[in-house]
Amino acid sequence: MPVVHIVGCPSTTLQKAEALLHHTLGNGDFHVFRDMAAPISHTQVYLDDPACAAAEIDRAITDAYIHARPVYIMIPTNMADKKISGIRSSYVFTEW
């Protein structure tokens, strides 16, 4: 089933500092939940770079549609309000 799972996570600053937050299960690994989603989702993207965020979002949604499988999009809190390019990626839907 094509489901888009959008998840918020701590800022990239906290992640680089390896802060021990509940998002890590106490081990400093901020990707533990993304890794848990990997076996049941087709694509997992981590939006830590505004320069490629639009393309990564397009890729995830395209994969969900084409493969009819869940996708996982992880957005750090300090990236949620960043401006991203309006230029679309090379993925083009010819039929919905």
- Write the pLDDT tens digit of every residue in 26-69: 777 788 888 889 999 999 999 999 999 999 999 999 999 999 99
φ, ψ for residue 6, nearest 5 deg = -105, 125
Predicted confidence (pLDDT) at residue 88 exceeds the cutoff of 70: no
Confidence band, pLDDT 50/70/90 cuts, at residue 5? very high
Q: Residue 79 in 3-state DSSP?
A: helix
Domains of the chain plus CATH, in order, are 4-79 (3.40.50.970)
- 10-27 pLDDT, tens digit per residue, is 888 888 887 777 777 777
pTM for the whole structure: 0.80
Distance (Å) of CA 3 to CA 42, 43, 68, 71, 85: 10, 11, 8, 6, 24
pLDDT of residue 96: 46
CB-based contact 7:72 (threshold 8 Å): yes
